């Protein structure tokens, strides 16, 4: 199978609690390779644009402000079947419903402050990667 890429975000609840290394270790143990990574402070415009697909949902405003509350770590992960594999390691959106070994079951604070974001399809991954990274920043 070809190597796939996906966009990962370690959210403010995770960076605030110094969990970058612990979460990255779970990704790497699952065979995902961190091929680009940076710690950034999102602007309101960036967070709003990134989550524009959720604009009509009741939690949109709260989600955007939570994404501004501390720095995030944005990453590109590479591997076979990376999009699906990453979502499996992340676990269900609601940590109460996530499998015990997953990032969200172990670390998420709530359904909103759920520690990580992952692209949900290879097509969306390409768009989301281009939102944060130039091609020259992604190295094998
Ligand atoms: P993500 O897109 O972050 O990887 P996801 O695909 O599991 O997560 P989505 O339905 O795309 O979940 O929702 C995007 C984000 O919005 C979630 O990760 C979570 O932070 C927040 N969210 C989703 N549902 C709720 C909810 N019912 N209440 C509060 N926040 C929510
Ligand atoms: Mg999603």
**What tens-digit pLDDT sequence spans the chain (140 residues)?**
789 999 999 999 999 999 999 999 999 999 999 999 999 999 999 999 999 999 999 999 999 999 999 999 999 999 999 999 999 999 999 999 999 999 999 999 999 999 999 999 999 999 999 999 999 999 99
Protein residues with C-beta less than 5 angstroms from the ion ligand 2: 120
* Distance between CA atoms of residues 54 and 49, nearest Å: 10
| Ligand 1 pocket residue status of 131, Cβ below 6 Å | no
Please tell me the residue having the least CA distance from ligand 1 atom 1.
Answer: 117
Taking the whole predicted model, whether its pTM rises above 0.85 is answered as yes
Please tell me the residue having the least CA distance from ligand 1 atom 23.
Answer: 112
Backbone angles phi, psi at 9, to 5 degrees: -130, 130
| Ligand 1 pocket residue status of 118, Cβ below 6 Å | yes
H runs (alpha helix) in 68-132? 82-90, 103-107, 122-132
Q: Which position has the token pair 């591997």?
A: 79
């Amino acid at each position: 199978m070809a190597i796939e890429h996906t966009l990962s975000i370690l959210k403010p609840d995770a960076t605030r609690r110094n969990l970058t290394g612990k979460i990255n270790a779970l990704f790497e143990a699952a065979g995902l390779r961190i091929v680009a990574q940076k710690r950034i402070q999102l602007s309101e415009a960036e967070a709003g644009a990134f989550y524009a697909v959720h604009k009509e949902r009741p939690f949109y405003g709260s989600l955007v402000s939570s994404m501004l509350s501390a720095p995030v770590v944005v990453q590109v992960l590479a591997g076979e079947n990376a999009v699906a594999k990453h979502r499996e390691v992340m676990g269900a959106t609601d940590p109460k419903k996530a499998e015990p070994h997953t990032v969200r079951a172990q670390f998420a604070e709530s359904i909103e402050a759920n520690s990580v974001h992952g692209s949900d399809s290879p097509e969306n991954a390409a768009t989301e990667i281009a939102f944060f990274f130039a091609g020259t920043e992604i190295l094998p």
